[in-house]
Structure 1
Amino acid sequence: MGTGFSTDTLRRGIEGSTAANLLSLYTDDAELRVVDRNTQPSSPRVLHGRDEIAELLEDVYSRDIKTHKLEECIVQGDRAAYTESCEYSDGVRVFAESMITLRDGKIAEQTMIQAWDE
């Protein structure tokens, strides 16, 4: 694993106030699969490349978020898993779990499963 990824850099990215720090942890050709109520396992949302991932992250960080927190992170070799939670100002909560593959210290592949309050 290279020097770009660590629990501390991931925490700063997730808990920061803009998408820029988190986005810097992805490779240019990263792939992000999102599974949730709207994009179920048989048809997940798949984002290809840093530009598509940037659109998603910029949307998330533009919202009125009260808290965004890295709960846990485990790194082993070129793989990592982490959980994050967030609460919007209106009280809606989101919980997500991710499994990632790292290349040269950056996120090359990510599968995220998320659940929202309804």
Structure 2
Amino acid sequence: MGTATGPTFDTDTLRRAIEGNTGNTLLALYTDDAEIRIVDRTDQPSHPRVLHGRRDIAALLDDVYGRDMTHSLDQCIVQGDRAAYSESCEYADGVRVLAESMVTLRDGKIAEQITIQAWDE
């Protein structure tokens, strides 16, 4: 049985984390044992990219936030121990990325996440 979220996870906190300049604020929203599954053109549904724990997630966020791009939280819904959000990103050269995520929360932090993303080619 999940734990309802507290005031530590809300749309404003997620927005500040996603739209920030580093991944550190976003990383703080994950549990130590969090798992992220990513599905995209490269990592298809039968073989998603799976990240286990904050170390793997930190490496991904360092890579993403080290790029010349902007990030925006477009929509977010938080209900109990679940949240869903849409994020759009744009590289300096105009290439756009859209990501949809569904998360499970534990003690106000992200414990599980599945992200489906697509980008311009």
SS at match of 1:70: strand
TM-score relative to the length of structure 2? 0.95
Specify the code of the residue in structure 2 equivalent to 1:103: R
Counterparts of 1:109 and 1:4, CA distance in 2: 16
**2:17 is the counterpart of 1:13:** yes
Counterparts of 2:12 and 2:91, CA distance in 1: 23
Supply the RMSD in Å over aligned alpha carbons: 0.6
Q: Which runs of 4+ in 1 moved over 2 A?
A: none
Look up the match of 2:86. 83
SS at match of 2:71: strand
The answer for unaligned runs of 5 or more in structure 1 is none
Residue 3 of structure 1 and its aligned partner are, at CA, apart by: 2.9
The answer for unaligned runs of 5 or more in structure 2 is none
Q: Deviations over 1:17-64 (max 9, x none)?
A: 000000000000000000000000000000000110000011000001
TM-score relative to the length of structure 1? 0.97
Counterparts of 1:4 and 1:26, CA distance in 2: 11
Q: Structure 1 vs Structure 2: percent identity of aligned residues?
A: 74
CA contact (8 A) 1:15 1:68 kept: yes
Match of 2:77 among 65, 69, 74: 74
Q: Deviations over 1:77-105 (max 9, x none)?
A: 00000000000001110000000000000
Residue 4 of structure 1 and its aligned partner are, at CA, apart by: 1.9
